[in-house]
Structure 1
Amino acid sequence: MMAAGKDRKELFYSFYVLLLLLLAYLLNQLDRYTLAIVTKHMAQDIHYGDQGCISTVNKTVEDNAHVNCTDVKQQYCDNTTVTYNNETLHSCKWDYTGNGLQYQLLAGPVFIVFYTFSGIFLGYAADRTNRKNLLAGCIILWSATTVVTGFSKEYWHLVILRLILGAAEAGCTPFAASIITDYFAEDMRGFAIGIYNWGIYMGYSMSYAVGNFITDALGWQWAFYIAGMPGILLGIIIFLTLKEPERKKNKSEVQEHGLIQQTTSEKLVSMWKPFLKPALIMICIAGSIRNGAGYVWGYNTQLFFNTYYPDINTGNWFSWIPLVGGSLGVAFGGFISDRFVKRRGPSARVLILIASLLIAAPFAIGTLYLKPPLAFISQIPCYIFGEMWVGVTLAVVVELVPSSNRASAVAVYLFIISNIGGNMPLLVPPLKDATNFRFALLLLYPGCYVAGALLFLASLPLVMREVKKAATGEKTPLLSTEDLTEE
């Protein structure tokens, strides 16, 4: 009885730890994307990015008086009026839109470069130091940085704070994944990682609620205060109540002691060597393009609806659509791909990637060209099918590398697609200037879905060849999606 009680207590505590880590990931995403939601209001106070003609009337007046400020030139903008109910109204003003190169730099390279390179060092530290202390420190640092962002007065303040945010947020997943591995047995680890990953969509959805509703009520500064303050408390709670678990060696460490004796240079070579294979090169290129579509849309969603439907509050829709659609997509993708793999072999995962992106693309187009609420409704199937790629692509990667390199291969893959895809928002300003904002997003959002599908299609024969080599040359079976989190 005492042993059973102890086991229940340990299991309860493990789920308490998982809850803390889920909250950390939620706040990680919330603090990251708050910028994208409030950028218009920030730009009008701090003065950065593009300027344009912006509507100053509500949707009822716009629709009935046929107001269209988007294409009005600067010299006419402030003098544009409409007559509504026998009253003359100033319908437009020339002001900062929150878009432009300076904004896309904040969204992309300023954050991504420090995020990815810091992630390498923090991931290395995760295997050698007290993880819960470092995790608590990272949470407190990025949360404090978010709070301080609310006090920004100059553009360079945002640049410095965004650099710090990227460096600190990079510590979340390496530490959390390592802690989860040591708190949960192999038969529970996949479930625990899945719960943790819900933080992506919970935090992203919450950024729309905080960024829209708090900004409308209190101002954009308070959106950062409210987004950042809970993380400081959470970091303190983790520092005081989360116990550093005993590290568990995985099977490859137990069976292959020689790998532990590798020098640093040998480890780096073994990490990158698999990515010289043509199949992995194509998978990385395709994954980068698809990842870039996500970054482009994620950091331009609010701006798109601000531009074309300024009286629509996106918080009413995006505070729940990414959470529901994204979570279903990740789970659905893993389930479907595993079933296909059992029937057709591991290369069937690539077919799932191709099909899911081609199905999602028309719904992404619908979001850009249909009027609300149909534009928002189109996002639900777009998320369900468009987010299937996350776990499926990771499964393909680990199936193409030696078993001893699978964990490092995932890190390298994420490093590649984050640096390429994360900088794709820089393409938005020149394409917008050459055409218009909607067409720029058409090319970089559903367009990249289709391009990614075609690149995955090109990788299919290469993947099939590698799978055939693995089947004849390796005795250990290839991984399934469930096995991915057990390495």
Structure 2
Amino acid sequence: MSTPAPFTAKRPAARNAWTALGVLLVVYLVNFMDRQVFAVLQEEFRVDLNLSDSQLALLGGTAFALFYATLGIPIAILADRTNRIRLIAAACVVWSVFTALSGLASNFVQMLLARIGVASGEAGGVSPSYSVLSDYFPPSKRAFAIGLFSIGAPLGLTAGSALGAFIADALNWRWAFILVGLPGVLLALVLLVLVKEPKRGMFDTDALRAQKANALGALKLVFATPSLRLFTAAAAVTSFAGYSLYQWAPSFLIRSQGMTLEEVGAGLSPLFALGLIGSVAGGWMADRVGPGRPEAYGVIPGVTLLLTVPFFLGGLMAQDGQTTLLFFAIPLLLSYAWIGPGLAATQTMTPPASRAAVAAIIGFFNNLIGIGLGPLAVGALSDALRPHYGEGEALRLALMAGSSAFALAAVLFVAAGYALKRDLKRRT
């Protein structure tokens, strides 16, 4: 007998599901913490290493994204065929060690190599985690579980901003990289001890479980399924705007608004933490409404992202840092609400044998466009505008242009939600 259809299954989570979710959440937190510490420290090492905005964007965006996105696909294919928990633990060790090595860089090339190492490790963390969680939680609880897992991102941004600024202020930026990076090695051991590899497809139909892992098939599935195409595009555009702001917001507050590094760390940290509310609430709302109206998995993200636009623009147009931070509070709360619904929908549309691969393919476009092009576009536009407007105003205008992409992302998410409704009808 086959299990109930997706979005309506009511089977309970496995015994250690919440333990797995908790530990994977902390691993994801460390992932983003190691990523954010680069952004909060970039004004410090920019001066020491004599780097331009375009070079900073290459280090924090394009070069990072190229390896992160490209390596994510073969690693995810491996995850669909092997023990995912061991793979995530190994990835955690790699990105943690290379984060620490970033503190030893003395020029652009050395920092570039360290960032490539961080990206290579982080490529093995997220997609396998989505696959693991989809085998611990049934479809009716999956958006909430993934939304809860995803609070690791805002918590990591919070911790990276606070710890990076605090350690750099107390010691220097080199020690900040080292002391933030190395604890991840111990966390990898905790993951191996506490989390078990779950059985694949325990909450899926017989037809879905019968489908075998196939890299080419996963790619075809993404391009042949309207909802997966639209969710992929929506996530990519969201990340284009989001990563631009996350990388350049600390620099904007220092250059344009006259804040110190310590003030930036203290001001941004609690705002990034607001994202955990949006992440959990978005997943919870989608699971409440989605079983009867699956389009909610796209409409909820679309509405919340559209609401972020006027607040981000208002914060960027403000003339002092405290007003900017006040304006940023609401959009930083709302901008994570898409993660649980959007990723849960794509996991549910995917056979269990290919979930990590499909997540990595979606992540490839998401990260290449989001991390790779977003910060680079803002950095390059800032460099181009600097001779006419000065350093501070140039970055302000560049960030305003980048944040406007949230409006396009909102439209794509709504379209994805209604495409999901049609795709589920065809599948049943």
**1:116-155 matched pairs, under 5 angstroms:** 116-155=69-108
2:252 is matched with which residue?
A: 304
1:441 is matched with which residue?
A: 399
Deviates more, 1:425-434 or 1:172-181: 172-181
Q: CA deviation at 1:226?
A: 1.2
Q: CA deviation at 1:183?
A: 6.0
1:40 is matched with which residue?
A: 43
Summarize the Cα distance change of 1:195–1:469 in structure 2 as closer, same or farther, 3 Å threshold. Answer: closer
Partner Cα distance (1:179, 1:353) in 2: 23
Q: Secondary structure at the match of 2:150?
A: helix
| 1:145–1:164 contact (8 Å) kept in structure 2 | yes
- Residue-by-residue CA offset, 1:187-226 (whole Å, 9 max, x unaligned): 8766654443221111111111112111111010111111
CA RMSD of the aligned region, Å? Answer: 3.1
Structure 2 unaligned residues grouped into runs of 5+: 1-13, 386-393
Q: CA deviation at 1:186?
A: 7.5
**1:147-166 matched pairs, under 5 angstroms:** 147-166=100-119
Does 2:25 match 1:22? yes
Partner Cα distance (1:353, 1:253) in 2: 27
1:110 is matched with which residue?
A: 63
Partner Cα distance (1:340, 1:257) in 2: 26
- Residue-by-residue CA offset, 1:230-251 (whole Å, 9 max, x unaligned): 1122234444x34643534435
Q: CA deviation at 1:283?
A: 4.2
Summarize the Cα distance change of 1:139–1:258 in structure 2 as closer, same or farther, 3 Å threshold. Answer: closer
Partner Cα distance (1:127, 1:385) in 2: 32
Q: CA deviation at 1:417?
A: 1.8
Q: CA deviation at 1:128?
A: 3.0
2:279 is matched with which residue?
A: 330
| 1:41–1:220 contact (8 Å) kept in structure 2 | yes
Partner Cα distance (2:151, 2:104) in 1: 30
Q: CA deviation at 1:158?
A: 0.8
Which of 400, 418, 421 is the aligned partner of 2:370? 421
Q: What residue identity is the alignment partner of 1:391?
A: G
1:196 is matched with which residue?
A: 149
Partner Cα distance (1:281, 1:256) in 2: 20
Q: What residue identity is the alignment partner of 2:257?
A: Y
1:245 is matched with which residue?
A: 197
| 1:291–1:422 contact (8 Å) kept in structure 2 | yes
Q: Which is greater in Rg?
A: 1
Query: Size of the alignment, in residue pairs?
Result: 402
| 2:34–2:99 contact (8 Å) kept in structure 1 | yes
Q: Secondary structure at the match of 1:354?
A: helix
1:450 is matched with which residue?
A: 407
| 2:148–2:280 contact (8 Å) kept in structure 1 | no
1:381 is matched with which residue?
A: 330
Q: CA deviation at 1:392?
A: 3.0
Q: Secondary structure at the match of 1:105?
A: helix
Identity %: 27
Summarize the Cα distance change of 1:228–1:254 in structure 2 as closer, same or farther, 3 Å threshold. Answer: same
Partner Cα distance (1:146, 1:255) in 2: 43
Q: Secondary structure at the match of 2:211?
A: helix
Q: What residue identity is the alignment partner of 2:33?
A: L
Q: CA deviation at 1:411?
A: 3.6
Q: CA deviation at 1:172?
A: 1.7
Partner Cα distance (1:373, 1:393) in 2: 33
| 1:253–1:259 contact (8 Å) kept in structure 2 | no
The structure with higher relative contact order (CA 8 Å, sep 6+) is 2
- Residue-by-residue CA offset, 1:385-414 (whole Å, 9 max, x unaligned): 222222233355467x57678835444322
Partner Cα distance (2:187, 2:291) in 1: 42
Q: What residue identity is the alignment partner of 1:442?
A: M
Q: CA deviation at 1:444?
A: 0.2
Q: What residue identity is the alignment partner of 2:211?
A: L
Q: What residue identity is the alignment partner of 1:289?
A: V
Q: CA deviation at 1:456?
A: 4.6
Q: CA deviation at 1:138?
A: 2.0
| 1:289–1:452 contact (8 Å) kept in structure 2 | yes
Partner Cα distance (2:139, 2:225) in 1: 30
Q: CA deviation at 1:363?
A: 0.9
Q: What residue identity is the alignment partner of 1:441?
A: L
- Residue-by-residue CA offset, 1:22-72 (whole Å, 9 max, x unaligned): 3221111111121111111112112221xxxxxxxxxxxxxxxxxxxxxxx
2:125 is matched with which residue?
A: 172
Q: What residue identity is the alignment partner of 1:438?
A: R
TM-score by length of 1: 0.73
Q: Secondary structure at the match of 2:43?
A: helix
2:270 is matched with which residue?
A: 320
- Residue-by-residue CA offset, 1:122-166 (whole Å, 9 max, x unaligned): 222223334443333222221111111111111101111111111
